[in-house]
Amino acid sequence: MTMQQVAVEAGVSVSTVSKVINGRYGISVATASHVSGVIERLGYETSLVARSLRNQRTNVIGVLVADFEPFSTEVLKGAADAIRGSGFELVAYSAGGRVDEHVGWERRYLSRLMGTLVDGAVLVTPTVTEVDSDGPVVAIDPHTGSTTIPTITAHNLQGARLGVRHLLDLGHTRIAMVTGREDLVSAQLREQGFREALAEAGVAVDESLVVPGAFEAEVAREAAMALLARPGRPTAVFAASDQMALAVIEVAHELGLAVPTDLSVVGFDNIPESALADPPLTTVRQPIRDMGHDAVALLIDLIEGREPADLHRTLGTDLVLRRSTHALGGMPS
């Protein structure tokens, strides 16, 4: 739908339509009302580029993700919560694949979107610590450490300790871990929490039970097969993400192991699928939806020129007990 088509349908000139859209003087109230009705009926909308050139603002926030998977989907739900009533709109933009094949994707897409299509952007698990953009940027769960970009993260170290302590409290000492991506700080902290919880309990880490999962289900399946088919297999597995934990449960079932009777499994994230698993997954909840909400709220403050109280926020984690864990030699817990 174009402005010319609106003008033809309304029986007025293009300049009259333009005046109505931009709220300019020189037309009667009746004409403005008539043209507005035609615009609404036809569903005409000015382009974001034209809007930005005219007003230096689009009132659109971009959320840039490497791919649409459970974590980013929950982030987007929180982002949608945050824009309600704010006057802003939301656009999601995906790199369309695995992060390790698209290192630096944030810079490319920011250069395409910022300044003409969006007023600011939220980067979900970015691979860079610094970006050069024409507007404010907030990062959720950045891959690397110290950064000048405002950030929203979860308390990954605390969460991992909670998950492993739960297994230790159930009597497990032969506990394996399926780790996340090596370049992701959250994954590093979850492994650190795993090791610290074992050390506090006086349990030595068996390095042969620490296997990479890369936050990918297929990689985690291979890791689980290697762990569970070996002699002296672990009695419990702590996975650095729910997706990987669910892959571990699938492999256990394929090998004829009952979860949790033969194997206890704890995940991390609390994605919606974790509650629907068979059995429902005990997991460490990080407030993913809240992270999306807070990132957008912080970004709106920056766009509007307000000074946020804190540019780097860490949200708490907690343990969600379900039926995938079992006291060693005892009844299900």
- 296 in helix, strand or coil? helix
The amino acid that residue 108 corresponds to is R
pLDDT of amino acid 40 = 83
**Looking at residue 51, what is its pLDDT?**
52
CATH of domain 3-46: 1.10.260.40
- What is the pLDDT, as a whole number, of residue 52? 45
Q: What pLDDT does residue 46 have?
A: 60
Could you give phi then psi for residue 130, rounded to 5 degrees?
A: -130, 140
Domain coordinates in residue numbering, the chain: 3-46, 58-154+288-315, 156-286
Q: Does the fold of domain 156-286 match that of domain 58-154+288-315? A: yes
Q: How far is CA 327 from CA 138, 182, 229, 279, in A?
A: 42, 31, 22, 15
Task: Look at residue 18 in the predicted model and tell me its pLDDT.
Answer: 81
pLDDT for the residue numbered 53: 44
Residue labelled with tokens 């650190």: 192
CATH (residue range 58-154+288-315): 3.40.50.2300
d(CA 260, CA 254): 14
Q: If we measure between CA atoms, which residue out of 253, 291, 285, 259 comes closest to residue 272?
A: 285
Q: Is 123 helix (H, G, I), strand (E, B) or coil?
A: strand
Low-confidence stretches of the chain (pLDDT < 50) are 49, 52-54, 98-99, 332-333
Q: CB neighbours of 170 closer than 8 A, spacing ≥ 6?
A: 236, 264, 325, 326, 327, 328, 330, 333
Largest CA-CA distance found in the chain, in angstroms, rounded: 85
Domain over 156-286 is classified CATH 3.40.50.2300: yes
pLDDT at 47: 53
